[in-house]
Amino acid sequence: MFDPHSIKEDFPILNNKINSRPLIYLDNASTTQKPKIVIEALKNYYENSNANIPRGIHTLSEKATASYEKTRLNIAKFINATSEKEIIFTRNTTESINLMAYTWGETNIKENNEIIVSAIEHHSNLVPWQQLCQRRQAKLKIIPIKQNLTLDLDQYAKLLSKKTKLVAVTGMSNVLGTIPNLKKIIDLAHQAGAITLVDGAQSVAHSPTDVQELDCDFMAFSAHKMLGPTGIGILYGKYEILNDMPPFLFGGDMVKVVEQYKAYWNDLPWKFEAGTPNIADVIAFDEALKYLEKIGMENVQKHDQKLLKYAVEKFSQYKNQNVKLFLPNDIVNNGGILSFSIKGIHPHDIATIFNEEGVAIRSGHHCSQPLIENLNVLATARISFYIYNTKEDIDLAELALQKTIKIFK
């Protein structure tokens, strides 16, 4: 049975106090906390398996290599990729998207080609495509949002043309929690002859993911948003597309043979992984995957939605006190993210007062500045949930909201 109270006991940091109050961590869209099993895996690696990979003959190197590659295999299973060779390790989601932009993008985007993104993208899935279009003299098009803060897919269909080469969209907005209809977006893109990339930084951590069912060509996500360590990103790509792409970085491990004036690239996935990787954190990430699989991603999603509904009910009571919520009208399929503002109070001041009460939230434009401007605000405050959050956490956040309103009356 899913019990967030018992789950919370697995996370040592949540025993901390902030300003003499229990820590209530509601900044999970930024990064998640780590269970003991992940922390212990890091410690165990450095105490018992520390060695470089992949070609060492000695026992430590073989042990480290086997554990590292086991994580790759389990990631492939987690998102239902056809092969672990479709899983590329990077530093984060941002680097995964840039890898694709600088390899597939530079090879395939020509003058007057078109790339489509949405109006709810994180900068990491916007700026690389802005820059690629500038370098290649291509055109960037934006899927607009409707008044209900969902993507306008009728307008999207009109944006598609024979010139469209790539559609890159988020799986879940990190500001609004909006979950686009990815299957429809991807199918329409393929009908137009375009390939697709999904920014799964939020969605993979909060819902079941099946890249074969979606039929996306690429998906990028990060370990740290799903209980794993920082410094690990993943780029999934269909084998045949990855195989045709040139390498991103050059040096050790990504080569098969090196001659004096020429080099031959390694097989997938290693041709995209130059140099010594982040071995310890990849191995520890495997424990995070096991932890989430034990809970079940369907249960993670249901828990998020339950907490979101409760938080919306609580915070909606303060609309007559200038509290404004930013989320779609229908939150049934929304992610566990709630952005809000209070008229006349800067979000940084809101976050500061929440912190005084031990409640950690995020404030700012959340690396989605064009979207924030579209909402006609300078910034928002944001609470976001994960498996260790409870209704009691939201009750304490409500008390912090009451204090904020009272101070600025």
Band of pLDDT at residue 56, cut at 50, 70 and 90: confident
Return the CA Rg of the chain: 22
* Predicted confidence (pLDDT) at residue 340 exceeds the cutoff of 80: yes
Residue 353 maps to which CATH number? 3.90.1150.10
37 in any annotated domain:
no
Query: 161-171 pLDDT, tens per residue?
Result: 999 999 999 99
248 in any annotated domain:
yes
102 in any annotated domain:
yes
**Cα(135)–Cα(403) distance, integer angstroms:** 50
Torsion, Cα 180 197 38 273, to 10 degrees, reads: -170
- Do both 244 and 372 map to the same domain? no
Backbone angles phi, psi at 52, to 5 degrees: -80, 155
- Do both 8 and 63 map to the same domain? no
Query: 240-270 pLDDT, tens per residue?
Result: 999 999 999 999 999 999 999 999 999 999 9
334 in any annotated domain:
yes
- Do both 269 and 142 map to the same domain? yes
Burial 94-132 (b: 16+ CB within 10 A, else e): bbbbbbbbbbbbeeebeeebbbbbbbbbbbbbbbbbeeb
In the chain, pLDDT over 70 holds for what percent of residues?
100
Within 82-232, strands assigned E span 87-90, 114-118, 139-143, 164-170, 195-199, 218-222
- Do both 66 and 137 map to the same domain? yes
**Cα(192)–Cα(31) distance, integer angstroms:** 36
Band of pLDDT at residue 1, cut at 50, 70 and 90: low
Band of pLDDT at residue 82, cut at 50, 70 and 90: very high
Q: What is the pLDDT of residue 55?
A: 81
Catalytic residue IDs: 367
**Cα(104)–Cα(81) distance, integer angstroms:** 19
CB 115 within 8 A of CB 138: yes
Please state the rounded mean pLDDT for residues 301-315: 97
34 in any annotated domain:
no
* Predicted confidence (pLDDT) at residue 324 exceeds the cutoff of 80: yes
**In Å, how far from its chain's centre is CA 114?**
25
43 in any annotated domain:
no
- Do both 257 and 384 map to the same domain? no
| The domain boundary residue, chosen from 248, 266, 293 | 293
Q: What is the pLDDT of residue 331?
A: 86
- Do both 134 and 91 map to the same domain? yes
Band of pLDDT at residue 225, cut at 50, 70 and 90: very high
| The domain boundary residue, chosen from 247, 272, 293 | 293
* Predicted confidence (pLDDT) at residue 351 exceeds the cutoff of 70: yes
Band of pLDDT at residue 124, cut at 50, 70 and 90: very high
Q: What is the pLDDT of residue 333?
A: 82
Based on the structure, what is the number of domains in the chain? 2
- Do both 265 and 362 map to the same domain? no
Tell me the average pLDDT of the chain. Answer: 97
42 in any annotated domain:
no
Which residues does 132 contact at the CB level (< 8 Å), separation at least 6? 101, 105, 106, 109, 115, 138
* Predicted confidence (pLDDT) at residue 46 exceeds the cutoff of 80: yes
| The domain boundary residue, chosen from 278, 293, 308 | 293
CB 87 within 8 A of CB 234: yes
The pTM is what? 0.97
Expressed as residue numbers, the domain containing 403 is: 4-27+296-407
Query: 263-293 pLDDT, tens per residue?
Result: 999 999 999 999 999 999 999 999 999 999 9
